[in-house]
Structure 1
Amino acid sequence: MNEQLENLNRLPLRDDLRGLTPYGAPQLDVPILLNVNENTHGLPEHVRRAIMAEIESVVGGLNRYPDREFTRLRQSLATYLGHGLTADNIWAGNGSNEVLQQILQAFGGPGRTVMSFPPTYSMYPLLASGTGTTYVTGTRAADFSLSADSAAEQIRAQAPNLVFLCTPNNPTGTGMELDVIEAAYEAGEASNAVVVVDEAYAEFSHADNPSALQLLPGRERLIVSRTMSKAFALAGARIGYFAAAPQVSDALRLVRLPYHLSAITQATAVAALTHADSLLSNVEDIKSQRDRIVAELTGLGLKPAPSDSNFVLFGGLENPRAVWEGLLEAGVLVRDVGIDGHLRVTAGTEAETTAFLDRLRELLTA
């Protein structure tokens, strides 16, 4: 036991937190970072100028608390999402992780359960633990898919208070048909389950994988979560949000911290949303690199999962650790997500993607 762990264990830490390790991917200083699904294209210069101008407009008022209801931001997000949504349907937080945490604070807690279907976003059990919510798991098919019948059967059997459905799924990249979400919602009716559809990577989906936003009318227990970290290249700004029935936001107002979104955060998001079309043009380039990765990995005899996201999970590796280290030696950092024989790579710029593919080809033929 190292000294840091000994020091930690002397504190009156909650028993269910003892022995846990913090969430996070390796943060290494290498030229090509393709491990945490960031938007590698960055912000165009005119968008950066617009954000700086919007921030400048609020700096003079930083001695005052920000708009607690972040009204302009909710209006801007509703306009961006469409589907007849209004500001009353929108909630936002410091990244989608905070939004999910607030949902668990409001609808989860001791004596309640949240269900998801691994392999999926590894923050779900950590958020559940932090809110005293019991985390229960379902299963997926061998190809990481989840059918409507399977999801409904498992939800009825577990009778959870919340269900998290990630689509496109992280870390597999696979999309989910709308009938799965509909079936999950109906199956959760008996336990009055809140169904959260985590669409963090929705903007990268193929055209035949529609958003769950269209399912919101008439479903007051359905929440569709999004983020501005990925498609909008604002991972450093920490802006997440959801769309749902207005009463869901009312529930979160009971648990949110006062003035939880700073004036600078709100200004950054509003400015970026004003230039949504420009930012989303980069998404098309990222999608083309993702599809290129899938095609070339298939040609190398590997097994990439079908991806609707900005990353690709690929299997068929006899020694993924050796491949991970070989890529790192060449200055390319990818992610080992703990799935046997697999690694995950973010779709980068054309040059970054080429560097990854060239080095991987060298490692596989060595």
Structure 2
Amino acid sequence: MTSLDDLPIRDDLRGKSPYGAPQKVVPVALNVNENTHPIPEDVAHDIVARVAAAIIGLNRYPDREFTELRTALAAYLGHGLDPAQIWAANGSNEVLQHLLQAFGGPGRRALGFAPTYSMYTLLSAGTGTEWIAAGRDDEYELSPETAVAAIREHDPGVVFLCAPNNPTGTPLSIETIRAVADEARGIVIVDEAYHEFADPGTPSALTLLPGHPRLVVSRTMSKAFAFAGARVGYLAADPALTDALRLVRLPYHLSALTQAAALGALAHSGEMLAMVDEIRAQRERIFDELARLGFHPYRSGSNFVLFGGVDDPHAVFEALLEQGILIRDIGLPNSLRVTAGTETETTAFLEAIAAFAPGRPGSDGPNRMAS
């Protein structure tokens, strides 16, 4: 039987592993930062009606420029954005891929600050872009000084800033983003996939778009909009930059059904985002309770919490899985990550993780704080 090694795959892809998180059917799935709240029933009915109407015209190609969707996304984002500044694709990963196809490639370098979203490295590899991993400060923070020093050292063609950062949840200050946008000669991508979960009043990188024609702000409908299964991501940037992405996108890349579903969700954005406050409250509840138990939760502006102080992450992961609770072992030393779910889901996790609290009799033994 032919194996991958037998195929004439590109040399720079040999030995690589595809993106993957465990996909298991369990009562409490808190591993991939989904919004675990269901879409409100009245919103779902409206989306179904819009998709049904689109089905009648499926014999025709969809609007290649997704004009109505770009208009709706610009209105949702605000900040005086024009539809010409908006781009969308099948999830924010495809948005990022378009950017690397247009501005990365062989002989060019992309820089990020590790640990960060693993798809950046995979997308860079897939487009033949050299990946450079710069370091962070203590507690996974990123100061303007640290970020600018990496830009000056490597002079990358593309910079990834994850705000807040995945997988650590660390918020990223607008001062750091501004410093990078001012310093970098290449494209600066600020990935705001989790921005809606940030503390109220947290400024978006959208405020920096005027005067920074090479700045990109990427968003997704997967998280706050509970729309992960629909696969809708988008960005805001200078019109010239969005125009460049037409050179690399596939024809009619956003289906009529995707556009209809996204428009339905955006038409009910207030109702769709009403659950964000509850998710933020559960995140804070997780943070406080983990700290009380003796773990080391890291500062988070997202819908998940990374926590250290776990002596054997894999063993704890497996023990929770046996109880029907799926969280994430992301490979950081002595650490695990959990998504903030509903109140019931959060309670189930907190009750289960308490058995592994550092120093608790019968736990995994002496626990070490993650660095």
TM-score range, shorter chain: over 0.9
Aligned to 1:179: 175
1:57 pairs with 2:57: no
C-alpha distance in 1 between matches for 2:240 and 2:247: 11
C-alpha distance in 2 between matches for 1:280 and 1:318: 37
Aligned to 2:307: 314
**Over residues 55-81 of structure 1, what are the superposed CA-to-partner deviations in whole Å (9 max), with x where a residue is unaligned?**
111111001000000000000000000
Aligned to 1:114: 110
Contact 1:229 1:239 in 2 (8 A): yes
Please give the residue correspondences for 1:236-255 in structure 2 after superposition, counting only pairs within 5 Å.
Answer: 236-255=229-248
The runs of 5 or more residues in structure 2 that have no matched partner are 363-371
C-alpha distance in 2 between matches for 1:125 and 1:328: 28
Contact 1:113 1:160 in 2 (8 A): yes
C-alpha distance in 2 between matches for 1:346 and 1:168: 14
Please give the residue correspondences for 1:1-366 in structure 2 after superposition, counting only pairs within 5 Å.
Answer: 7-188=3-184, 192-364=185-357, 365=360, 366=362
Q: Which moved more, 1:342-351 or 1:22-31?
A: 22-31
C-alpha distance in 2 between matches for 1:71 and 1:329: 48
- Residue 142 of structure 1: CA displacement? 2.1
The runs of 5 or more residues in structure 1 that have no matched partner are none
Structure 1 stretches of 4+ moved >4 Å: none
**Over residues 74-121 of structure 1, what are the superposed CA-to-partner deviations in whole Å (9 max), with x where a residue is unaligned?**
000000000000101100000000000000000000000000001100
- Residue 208 of structure 1: CA displacement? 4.2
C-alpha distance in 2 between matches for 1:116 and 1:61: 43
C-alpha distance in 2 between matches for 1:149 and 1:230: 31
Give percent identity, aligned residues only: 58
- Residue 362 of structure 1: CA displacement? 2.1
- Residue 326 of structure 1: CA displacement? 1.2
C-alpha distance in 2 between matches for 1:274 and 1:208: 23
Equivalent residue letter for 1:178: I
C-alpha distance in 2 between matches for 1:180 and 1:363: 36
Contact 1:326 1:363 in 2 (8 A): no
Contact 2:163 2:190 in 1 (8 A): yes
Equivalent residue letter for 1:285: E
Q: Secondary structure at the match of 1:236?
A: helix
- Residue 7 of structure 1: CA displacement? 1.5
Equivalent residue letter for 1:186: D
TM-score normalised by length of structure 2: 0.95
- Residue 322 of structure 1: CA displacement? 1.5
C-alpha distance in 1 between matches for 2:41 and 2:135: 44
Q: Secondary structure at the match of 1:323?
A: helix
C-alpha distance in 2 between matches for 1:255 and 1:126: 18
C-alpha distance in 1 between matches for 2:356 and 2:307: 15
- Residue 209 of structure 1: CA displacement? 2.4
Q: Secondary structure at the match of 1:136?
A: strand
Q: Secondary structure at the match of 1:91?
A: strand
Contact 1:176 1:209 in 2 (8 A): no
Contact 1:96 1:226 in 2 (8 A): yes
Equivalent residue letter for 2:202: N
C-alpha distance in 2 between matches for 1:210 and 1:298: 27
TM-score normalised by length of structure 1: 0.97
Contact 1:216 1:245 in 2 (8 A): yes
